[in-house]
Structure 1
C-alpha cells in the first residue's frame, strides 16, 4: 500500500495526508508542508477510495468509514484540495475531462427543474438555520474587517446595486432569485420594480411571502419561470449564483437571452463562482449528491461564450476569499444546529452537508475556486469612466428610495 501511495505521491509536494488504520497500520500520501490525518476502518476503505477518489472519498466519509485524526474535517479537505491540484491532468487530460463534463451538462426544461429541486427544495427552515437573517444563499462581500455575515451580505447587495447604476423606478430582472433577498433589497433601497424568477417551488413560496410581509408585492413579482422563456426587456439584469447551474453547453443561450432582455441603455451584473484553472468538469461527488447538472466555469470559456453576442464587458472583478469566509460562517452555524437536523434527517445527511460545506470552503482557500463579476452593457458610454462610483458614499440609493 505504501509503495502505491509513494508512486502516486511523486507529484504531490505541497501537502501530505497521513492515513491510520484501526489495526495500527500507518501510511502517508505526499510530502508537503501542509499536513492532516485521517483514521480509516481498514485497508478495504483505502482500496475502495483509490479506485475513484473524487467520488468515494466523500462517500466513505458520509458512511462513517473514516474520521479526521487529530485535526478537523476542514483541515483534511484543505490538504485534499492541494493534493488534487498537484494531480490535475495535463492539457490532453483536461480536454477529455471537458468532453466528459459537456455530456453531463445538457440542461433542458424538465431536467433543469429536477436538478434545482434536488438542492433548493429542501424545507426553507433548513436553510434559515445556517444562513444570515436575510436568507442569502450566495457569497457575501466582506468589505471591512470583522464584519458579521449579516453585514457582509448587505454589503454584497449594495456593491452589486452600485454596479447596476439604477435610476429610480428601474425595471430589474433577477435571474435565479433564490429566497428573494436581492430583489427585495433593490425594491426597498432603490425603489426598483423587480421581477425575480426561479425554478424552485420552495424558494418561490418564501420569496412571495417575504414580499407580502414587507409590503413590496406591488413592486416585486416572483415567478416560477425558466430564464430561456422570457420575452420582455429590462433596465437592468442581475444574476447571483445562478450561472453555475447553466452548464457549459448552454452558455451561449444564456448570454443571448441576457442580450435580448437587456434594454439598449441597460446594465447586467453576473455574479458566479469561477475557477482560476482551465475548463474542466464538476467534482463527481458534488454532481451526484449536491448540485446535479452544475458546473463551475473558467473565465476563459465564459468570455468565449459571451463575445459573439455583442455585450460589452465593462468590468470584471474577482473575489478571492470572500466565499471561504462565507462558508466558514455557514459551517459554524450549521454545527450549532446539527442535532436538530440529525433528528429530522439522519447522521449520514449531516455528514454529507458538513463534507459539502468544508469541501467548498477548502476549494476557495487551497483549491482553484473564486467568484467573478461580469458587468455587461450594450453601450460603451453607459457607465462612469472609472470605478470610483463603486466606492463613493451611496447617494444613489437614498435618492432612489425617496423618489
Structure 2
C-alpha cells in the first residue's frame, strides 16, 4: 500500500486509523488516545492519489464508494480524525511541496470575472429551491446563524443573526440599503418589515431571484424591496447602507481591491457597510481542490491579514469587528441533521452520488469550524470614522428594540 502507508504513519498522531486495502489486508496507524476509525479502500489507485491530492481523492472516493467505513465507523468519525490531525498531514514533506506549488496558482483558482462569477454561482445555488428547503431553516438562510443560547432552534438562531446584522447597520427612516448576494431574500425582507427603508438585493442566481421576488410580493413590501439578477459590479446607484452575508467568500483574492473599491464608490461619506463572511485564523492559503471542483468553484475564505491590507488601500475605516468562532459549527450540525432526515428525498432529486457528495461537504465544513481554523467575521466599514456611534452599546440596545418589534409584528412566523 506504499506510498500511502508511509504518509499515514506520519499523519495519524492522535487516534487510530485502520485501513483495509484492496486485497483485504489491515494496516493500523495509531498515535495517542483518540477517535478510532476503520476504512476500506477498494481501488488500488487510491494508494497514490490519496498522497498526491488527499482532499480531492478522499472526497471523490467517498462519492464513488471506493472509500467506505466499517466496524461502526462513519464519515463523521473519519472527518473528525482527519481534522484533528490536519497539521501533521500539512507538515508531511510531499504535502508541503505540493502546497507551495499550488499557492503559486491560487489567484487563477479564484477567478471570478464577470460571466465566470455567474457560472460559479449557478453551479451551487441553482440546484433547485426544493433541494435547499430540505435542510435549511424555514426562511432559507444559507449562512452562519447566531446562537444566543446553545439550545435555540435553527430558526431562532438565524433570526438572531439578522437582528444582529440589522443592528450594526444603524438604520434611519428613508435610507436606501443594498444587499449584495441577497440569497433568497430574508435579510432584505426583515429590514423592510422593521424599518422604513428601501432595499435592493442583487444575486447571480436565477432560482434565488425568482423566489425572493415572490416573497417580497407576498409580504406586501414589493414597493420598497426589489431583487435584481445582477453582478454587484454593475450597480451604479448610491446607498446609505450596504450589507453582504456569505458573499465575500466568492469574491476571490485577486478581486478584493475591486470589491472594496466598489463599496467605497456606492456609499456617501457617512454610509455604513457590514460584511458577514467566513475567514480563517491561519495564514493565507487555498480552498480545498475538492470543494472548488464540486461545491464552490472560485471560492475562498480569507485570512484576516488578506482583508485588512486591501481595506487600508481603499481608504475605508473598520468601525467594528466581531468574530463568531463556534456558531457555524452549530449551524452546520443542524443542517447535517436535517439533511440526513431528508436523505431519501435528496437521492430522489439528484441521485446517490450527489447525496454522498453533500454529506461529505456539510460534515467536512462542520469539522473545519469545530476543530479547524475557520471562523466567521462581521466587519463594519465606512468612509468616515464617526459614521456609527463610538460606543458599541447601540448594537445591543437596537437588538432588544428589534426583538420587541418582531414579537409585536409576528415576524417570527415560519416561511415569511
The TM-score range, normalised by the shorter chain, is over 0.9
Query: CA–CA distance in 2 between the matches of 1:356 and 1:127?
Result: 14
Q: Check the 8 A contact 1:195/1:222 in 2, yes or no.
A: yes
Distance 1:275 1:28, change over 3 A: farther
Question: Given the alignment of the two structures, is residue 348 of structure 1 paired with residue 359 of structure 2, yes or no?
Answer: no
Gaps of 5+ in 1: none
Aligned with 2:364 (options 359, 363, 373): 359
Q: Check the 8 A contact 2:122/2:205 in 1, yes or no.
A: yes
Query: CA–CA distance in 2 between the matches of 1:181 and 1:229?
Result: 22
Q: Which 10-residue stretch deviates more, 232-241 or 373-382? A: 373-382
Which residue in the other structure is 1:51 paired with? 52
Q: CA deviation at 1:397?
A: 3.7
Question: Given the alignment of the two structures, is residue 318 of structure 1 paired with residue 320 of structure 2, yes or no?
Answer: no
Distance 1:348 1:380, change over 3 A: same
Q: Give 3-state SS (helix, strand or coil) of 2:202's partner.
A: strand
Distance 1:240 1:8, change over 3 A: same
Q: CA deviation at 1:219?
A: 0.8
Q: CA deviation at 1:386?
A: 2.5
Q: Give 3-state SS (helix, strand or coil) of 2:336's partner.
A: helix
Q: Give 3-state SS (helix, strand or coil) of 1:204's partner.
A: helix
Q: CA deviation at 1:18?
A: 2.4
Summarize the alignment of residues 55-70 of structure 1 with structure 2, pairs less than 5 Å apart.
55-69=56-70, 70=72
Q: CA deviation at 1:368?
A: 1.2
Query: CA–CA distance in 1 between the matches of 2:401 and 2:267?
Result: 21
Query: CA–CA distance in 2 between the matches of 1:232 and 1:341?
Result: 40
Query: CA–CA distance in 1 between the matches of 2:403 and 2:364?
Result: 40
Question: Given the alignment of the two structures, is residue 19 of structure 1 paired with residue 19 of structure 2, yes or no?
Answer: yes
Summarize the alignment of residues 70-219 of structure 1 with structure 2, pairs less than 5 Å apart.
70-88=72-90, 96-219=101-224
Query: CA–CA distance in 2 between the matches of 1:267 and 1:400?
Result: 23
Q: CA deviation at 1:393?
A: 5.8
Query: CA–CA distance in 1 between the matches of 2:192 and 2:372?
Result: 37
Q: Give 3-state SS (helix, strand or coil) of 2:84's partner.
A: helix
Summarize the alignment of residues 217-256 of structure 1 with structure 2, pairs less than 5 Å apart.
217-256=222-261
Q: Give 3-state SS (helix, strand or coil) of 2:240's partner.
A: strand
Q: Check the 8 A contact 2:10/2:88 in 1, yes or no.
A: no
Q: Check the 8 A contact 1:85/1:367 in 2, yes or no.
A: no
Query: CA–CA distance in 1 between the matches of 2:41 and 2:348?
Result: 26
Query: CA–CA distance in 1 between the matches of 2:403 and 2:32?
Result: 52
Query: CA–CA distance in 2 between the matches of 1:206 and 1:68?
Result: 39
Q: Which whole-Å deviations, capped at 9, do the CAs of 1:341-389 have from their partners, x for residues lacking one?
A: 2122211010011111111111111211111111111221222222222
Return the TM-score normalized by structure 1. Answer: 0.93
Q: Check the 8 A contact 2:46/2:57 in 1, yes or no.
A: no
Which residue in the other structure is 1:264 paired with? 269
Query: CA–CA distance in 1 between the matches of 2:244 and 2:212?
Result: 16
Aligned with 1:385 (options 374, 380, 390): 390
Q: CA deviation at 1:48?
A: 3.7
Q: CA deviation at 1:88?
A: 2.4
How many residues are matched? 402
Distance 1:92 1:38, change over 3 A: closer
Q: CA deviation at 1:322?
A: 0.7
Q: CA deviation at 1:178?
A: 0.5
Q: Give 3-state SS (helix, strand or coil) of 1:112's partner.
A: helix
Which residue in the other structure is 2:299 paired with? 294
Distance 1:399 1:31, change over 3 A: closer
RMSD of aligned residue pairs (Cα, Å): 2.3
Query: CA–CA distance in 1 between the matches of 2:46 and 2:102?
Result: 26
Q: Give 3-state SS (helix, strand or coil) of 2:172's partner.
A: coil
Q: Check the 8 A contact 2:325/2:369 in 1, yes or no.
A: yes
